[in-house]
Amino acid sequence: MSTLIKPGADRQLKNHTSFGQSVRNSLTMAYRGLLKIKRTPEQLFDVTLQPIIFTLMFTYIFGGAISGDVVSYLPVIIPGILVQTVITTSIVTGVQLREDMEKGVFDRFKSLPISRIAPLAGALLADTIRYTIATVLTFVMGYIMGLRPEGGLGNVVIAGLLVIVCSWAISWIFAFFGVIARTASSVQGISMIVLFPLTFLSNAFVPVDTMPGWLQWFVKINPISHLVTAVRNLVNNGTMGVDLVYSLIGAAVIVAIFAPITVRAYMRRT
Amino acid sequence: MKHVQRTNTAPVKGGLAIEAQGLVKTYGDNRAVNGVNLNVGTGMIYGVLGPNGAGKTTVIRMLATLLRPDAGSARIFGHDVVKEPQIVRQLIGVTGQYASVDESLSATENLVIFSRLLGLGRAESRLKAAELLEEFGLTEAAKRPLKNFSGGMRRRLDLAASLIAQPPLIFLDEPTTGLDPRTRNQMWDTIRRLVKTGSTVLLTTQYLEEADQLADRIAVIDHGRVVAEGTVDDLKASVGTSSLHLRVQNRQDMENARQTVEQVLNVKSNISAEAGRITAPMGDVDRVTDLLIALREAGIPLSEMSVQKPTLDEVFLTLTGHGVKDNDSMASDKLNNVEGVIL
């Protein structure tokens, strides 16, 4: 406070935020998210336990019935369980964002001359650390149980990245619920109702041709099925097909729709 | 309102920091802010005084671009809050009623993140954080998580966070509510120093004494409207610098006593019949002697006499014809009655 403050009327200012500034602001907000995770590591419980428990459970329950034995079911179930687990994890993003927004610090973010999208994008970006943990753990569990990916390590990494990117995109949907919902628990409720049918009415756990015709129709257009197929192709054959393209386009569409409406809803909130 | 001389424009040096016209904000049927006009000159401390629920916070939130006004307009250093919000945000610092800092992080981490968001480099941010923590006496607690901070420490950190960008206009929403007297005085010193560096400060308060101590000009706000505006002296003149409280020994003397008070002091008085108490603004202290003599000559014995600083309740009574709601008046009583002298 020793130096004199430049008078407001003499300042040269502009009324928009550059793209570069938006990226820098979002990265700073992501750094904040990481610091918060570092301070309360217990919030990583779900992403550590869920991949372990679900992978064990589903593989041993369905393995014999669907593929004859557990090891030949692994190439089918591991990509499926990976997509399901990581996307379910993205619900937590919406819930935590809701809780975070109740706090006074979001008022300060709003009053700062920063990019409007940064507080949201940063929070979602920080959460990719959760998806990464879940992804790595699922593959490790698969490996321990006997999965030997034909596609090689490189393609497994690409598959993991694909799932993380798509989950980040999907987390915008839950972020939107997070912004418009009144309480954190209602975010959880709405999100589960959306996600449960989406993940189960897909090819994640069972072959599609065992389902009735009308259900097959839905399963085939379900974007989750395309993501699962893309991951299977990468992990089991090392190929990148049309499903990978569909998944990325789907992710881009979700972000293009939900990012703007989420930011708008966020700005409306008082 | 009739006692206060209403001036439409504040004395201006270097242009207006805030120019608000007819601000309105409605929540359902409730007009939280109902046509507020404010003109705040550069380099002053401007106090917005009013009870809980008067609309003070809503006004600040609209001026700080946090809330869109339903009607009316506001300019900060000439920039419209609705049309040029991002410019306005570069000119203001906001310290809310509830500390707007991150509970789960440490004081340093908070300040570093805000500095980074404001475009400072990594090393610069660390330096700025250390500098502000030093200045606000928080260096020792810098690494502790905020959960263990006292209310006063939180407020100071909050204010420190508002000063990172050295904004020319700072909004302080009830900066001392809930603080103990010592911490409150520290906060006042900090605010005074701020203005010396050229900042303009708009603060809201429930306490007349706080406005008295700090503000150059005051707007009294009630039910979403500005009911009086002027310098501290203007406002004080309307209620008297202090008020005289008298208690008569015999209830039947009440009416006589009251007439005597009004005649001698030439003011309007309030009576509370059940307590047998007369309250009157004391504009001219010398006249009190005349009053006491007059009462003795009239044969009205007193059981108690005291002089008290006007409470917010009395200011309100004078300005609006109704008092503030009970819990607020109790808070202001606590603050203002300290100077009461019982004879």
**Nearest 5 degrees, angle CA B168-CA B174-CA B175?**
65
Residue A35 gets which letter from DSSP? H
Does a structural domain hold residue B3? Answer: no
Same domain, B123 and B246: no
Domain ranges, ordered by start, for chain A: 24-269
Q: How close, in Å, is residue A89 to chain B by CA atoms? A: 22
Query: What domain count does chain B have?
Result: 2
Same domain, B105 and B55: yes
Same domain, B103 and B225: yes
Chain B contacts of A17, Cβ < 8 Å?
86
Does a structural domain hold residue B245? Answer: yes
Same domain, B167 and B262: no
Chain B contacts of A113, Cβ < 8 Å?
86-87, 89-90, 118
Does a structural domain hold residue B160? Answer: yes
Same domain, B276 and B171: no
The whole-number pLDDT of residue B333 equals 38
Locate the chain A residue with the closest alpha carbon to B159.
A108
Same domain, B58 and B71: yes
Per-residue pLDDT tens over the stretch B127-160: 999 999 998 888 888 888 888 888 888 888 999 9
Locate the chain B residue with the closest alpha carbon to A16.
B86
The whole-number pLDDT of residue A100 equals 82
Q: Is B30 on the interface with A (CB under 8 A)?
A: no
Same domain, B327 and B278: no
The shortest CB-CB distance from A9 to any of B15, B86, B197 is to B15
The whole-number pLDDT of residue B26 equals 92
Q: What is the CATH number of the domain that holds B302?
A: 3.30.70.100
Same domain, B173 and B251: no
B207 class by beta-carbon count within 10 Å (0-12 exposed, 13-18 middle, 19+ buried) = buried
Edge-to-edge order in the sheet of strand B341-342: B270-272, B277-282, B242-248, B302-308, B341-342
Does a structural domain hold residue B287? Answer: yes
Chain A contacts of B59, Cβ < 8 Å?
none
Same domain, B139 and B261: no
Q: Where are the alpha helices (DSSP H) in A10-127?
A: 19-39, 45-67, 70-101, 105-111, 118-126
The whole-number pLDDT of residue A1 equals 47
Chain B contacts of A120, Cβ < 8 Å?
none
pTM exceeding 0.80: no
Does a structural domain hold residue B261? Answer: yes
Locate the chain B residue with the closest alpha carbon to A13.
B87
The shortest CB-CB distance from A1 to any of B77, B86, B135 is to B135
Locate the chain A residue with the closest alpha carbon to B16.
A9
Across chain A, which has 270 residues, the per-10-residue mean pLDDT values are: 64 81 93 89 85 90 88 90 90 84 84 90 90 93 91 92 94 91 84 87 88 91 92 91 92 94 83
Does a structural domain hold residue B326? Answer: yes
Same domain, B77 and B96: yes
Same domain, B330 and B299: no
Give the contacts of A110 (CB within 8 A, at least 6 positions apart): A267, B65, B66
Helix then strand then coil, % of chain A, to nearest 5: 80, 0, 20
List B residues 176-235 in contact with A (Cβ-Cβ < 8 A). 193-194, 196-200
Sites in chain B below the pLDDT cut of 70: 1-14, 99, 238-241, 273-275, 283, 310-316, 320-343
Cα separation of A58 and B43, whole Å?
Answer: 69
Chain B contacts of A35, Cβ < 8 Å?
105, 109, 113
DSSP structure string for B15-49 = SEEEEEEEEEEEETTEEEEEEEEEEEETT-EEEEE
Does a structural domain hold residue B279? Answer: yes
Same domain, B286 and B164: no
Nearest CA to B195 out of B44, B46, B90, B48 is that of B44
Locate the chain A residue with the closest alpha carbon to B99.
A104
Q: Is A96 on the interface with B (CB under 8 A)?
A: no
Domain that holds residue B216: 16-237+320-337
The whole-number pLDDT of residue B2 equals 40
